[in-house]
Amino acid sequence: MTTHATNRLLQEAEFIDRYTQYYRRQLTAAMQNSTTDPTGLRCIRMCLEALDMMHGTRQTMVEALGQSSPKK
C-alpha cells in the first residue's frame, strides 16, 4: 500500500470516528427528547442523515482500498 493510500485511509478512519462520536451524542439527545416530541421527526431525520453519511463514508473507504490494491 502506498503512503498516499495509507494516509487517505487514516484520514477516512479519523473522519468516521469524529462523525460517529458527534452523531452518537446528537442521537442520544434526540432520543431523550423524543418523548416530548410526539412525532419524533428530529430523531428520524438525524437517523437518516447518519445512515447517509455512513454509506457515503463506506463508499469512500472502498474507493481508497481499490486504489491501494495492486493492479493485475
At residue 69, the pLDDT reads 66
At residue 38, the pLDDT reads 66
* Mean pLDDT of the residues in the chain: 77
- What are 29's three cell numbers? 439527545
Residue 8 CB neighbour total at 10 angstroms? 19
At residue 72, the pLDDT reads 57
The mean pLDDT value for 39-63 works out to 80
